Structure 1
Amino acid sequence: MVITLLDGLRFAKMVQAGAQHLSANAAMVDALNVFPVPDGDTGTNMNLSMTSGAKETEQSKQPHVGKTAEAFSKGLLMGARGNSGVILSQLFRGFSKAIAGKQEVTAFELAAAFEAGVQTAYKAVMKPVEGTILTVAKDAAKKAVSKAKSETNVIAVIEALVEEGQASLNRTPELLPVLKEVGVVDSGGQGLLLVYEGFLAELKGEALPAALAARQDMTDLVSAEHHKSVQSFMNTEDIEFGYCTEFMVKFEADKLSKNPFSEDTFREELSGFGDSLLVISDDEIAKVHIHAEHPGDVLTCGQKYGSLINIKVENMREQHTAITGGNPNAEKPADKARYGVVAVAMGAGVADLFKSIGASFVIEGGQTMNPSTEDIVKAIHDSHAEHVIVLPNNKNIIMAAEQAAEVSEASVTVIPTKTVPQGLAALIAFNPDGDEEANKKAMTTASAHVKTGQITHAVRDTSIDGIEIKKDDFMGLAEGKIVVTNDDKMTAVTALLDKLIDEETEIVTVIYGQDAAEAEVEQIVSYVEEKFPDTEAEVHNGQQPLYPFIFSIE
């Protein structure tokens, strides 16, 4: 079979197949996580990200490959979860820009688009690491371009992409020693290869090698929860802008010649019609979300630049009545604050802890479920503040938070906190009367001066940094690195504390989770007070899963 030109309809089918193949094997990708901790979520994050992108291509249903790729890119962007999901979105963001405006692409143009995606992804990562998804994407794209110089068949080029992707994936343990030590290939690279394999299977008309599992539509769930949270703080009579209005503007050349499009200008035009405004655009399309009282005026404004598609207008007053039962005593929204702080937390107690020291909005998420870019964007809007500070509190959420900051209309600062203790320390340093730069500096500095310890259990046998680990052993992590392991929980706890506490330590905060017993907490406090008499111990019930104990050392 020979395919010399690829159109949007066929590319959309490729995306669907790639998403399905990844979904069917997401658990396998999760299992490739280097650390044997119960948060191996690379497959989950990439799967949810691809699901979001695939949904957009399914809705586009058009032969224009540039527009289909752009829809895919936007879906990936808003659904991106974790570092792997964000990098995946950046790969196809560059890809889509490379073929923007094209009705069809040749084999060489397709290969060049993969290479353009690699360049975009590398730029998006502050410190690119070889032996990861980036390397697999780079090597595969390079081989595809080389093949396309002498081959016009799209199938042959994608075969080269997959072949070199597999070879590059097999080489990742040679580039990252930790992969070699554990005996696995890179999980993100494996996820990307699954997507590419899905592309190839669709082009060749072959069945995917794995049975597919039913997938939950996360995008609809996210939207439903967002609107529920917005309405729960309103009286029907107090909803100033009653219609949640979403649509996309497909730019038209004749209209742009009369009204040149500027995202900033368009955002300013729409801001007068309502609130909760979000505008995302590129050379071909603009996506709008706004709460407006007169949605017709909003749509008319958009029509100046092109035709309207994917229009959705919902009456929030009716939704509010349905959800709250028309409760006349519902709490009224506060006036727009100068600052809002969005924190990501796992565990009701941890969430309450952040709220008690000043967080205005807490997103549920963490090790096993990273919030998406869209989740964070909506939290930023729901904070209803002029300037919003985001505390990711997990290294896998930082990139999604930074991406959310880029697309949000609000002024946003991301403090790159990697742990709950870092986030709490940063929030304590927050000054609601200070300026943005001073707060950024103070919060970043405070987060760097706290040490984090965590206790969890191993999900498999492995060996890391010379430490032999058995499945179900208790592991002690210091600053994210496994430093102790033992089949007895409390032995692991005391060994970890011995490594974390020094003569300069003043306070040890114990945040205990769902799997911790009261007697164990009391034992820890006694141990700290007896062995380190100059150190004070504080205790909080975090109710977090998977990690019975989190320690903040200050």
Structure 2
Amino acid sequence: MRALDAVAVRQWVDACVRSLDANREDIDRINVFPVPDGDTGTNLLQTMRSALDNLLRTPVDTVGAALAALARGALAGARGNSGVILSQVLRGLAEATQGASTATGGSLRRALLRADELATAAVSDPVPGTVLSVLHSAAEAARDCASDELGDVVTAAAGAGATALADTPRQLAVLARAGVVDAGGRGLVVLLDALAAVITGQVVPPAPAGPPVPRDALTTAREAGSPEFEYEVMYLLDGTSDAGAERLRTALGALGDCTSVVGDGADLWTVHVHCNDIGAAVEAGVEAGRPHRITVARFADQVTAQASRFTRERAVVVLVDGPGAAELFRAEGAVVLEPGESVTAADLLAVITGTRARHVTVLPCDPALREPLDDAVAQACAAGQDVVVVPTFSPAQALAALAVHSGSRRAGDDVVAMAEAAAATRRGEVAVSEREAITWVGRCLPGDLLGMVDGEVVLIEPGGADVGALACRLVDRMLASGGELVTVLLGRGAPDGIGRVLEDHLRVAHPEVELAAYDGGQRDAILVVGVE
């Protein structure tokens, strides 16, 4: 599609309603900010249904008129903070295309930038890591897109929105602790994906039938604000001006909190406040214009989303370097993080909580991760997750621990079995010395080959020596106290054929021992060895 017209807008909003319907429960489930009230998906769906209803009842023949009808319908039916923000996104799209019969790539670029401005202005205290961050990234990607083709602009915006959504747990600690992305941002990505699908000609599948969306009730969950205020008052307002709306906003601010007075760019405003004096909130609206569709709800203050944040009972998280080793652990059902050079407590917390598991066992594989891992575990436990770190100082020990993992055992018994398996595995490495040092077996220089057992240097060879010969000597030393299985992970710097060298050596020197060699791809060690 080279240009967006009124028919395409109708197709888009229909696809949005179907996609939000399909994703509503998942979005509600991850709704933890600013309060875990579990209704963001429901609010977005109700708001978009109101927008669609108004579009269907309004004769339109241009893209600007169609988007204006959507914005007005969304504002009239906005539910919650997320619904208000969505109404302003649609208003931004409408303003940027006002009077236009169709929208091109350039029009969409301007529309998203205007939507970003209005949505940000609608929030009194914008917070990074929310739907506003996702929208801002999408708008910037559209602005920076080198092509003016409509499909290229919308694809860039949708892709950037998805990337920004994945990054929200790093920006907002409450999301990282819960192991979720921002619910409002997730809803916006659904809408952007639907728009991209319509423009590029993809098919948006119909939503499965689900339970009915709850309508207005006498009680509501508190989305934000102080528990000092007992009621949520909302109404539509017309017959006022921008200055009148600003005076109303000030008056409501003196009565309560979570105040918003936002418009559709024409003559309709939606008003929202948390307060105790319902009459005063309505009277302020009467002084500003003509309030109608007044709704009042008492806060139930029942937080249920926390109970549903866990989607499974058990998970094992492995922190391991090297793509080969990572795939090896993933094949065994573990959740894997490759820490890299600058892993933080936030990175570790995100992967632990991201498992959505009630009980998490962590296999760190590297003692250097202890400090940030301790911080991440403390935060996850404080948020209600059961997290245990099994002492594993090498991928070889982690493999041994994972081999005895069983989801059918009690969580505590399973952790004990994994810890015992790891402790019974001797760990060794062949690595290259990075600096001059004094070891138990003498001085090593930069570039020397080191053979290590349980973290101590036991063999030193000058740089350029035969790695295979050193590896064989190291394995012999590790098998001196017995063993039945030797596991070897080949690092990025391992010479070709070294696995065959070890196999031939063990066949002659230790025919009773089994060898398992894998391509680990780790950066720091040429070989990682485990003996069980």
Question: Which of the five TM-score ranges fits, normalised by the shorter chain?
Answer: 0.3 to 0.5
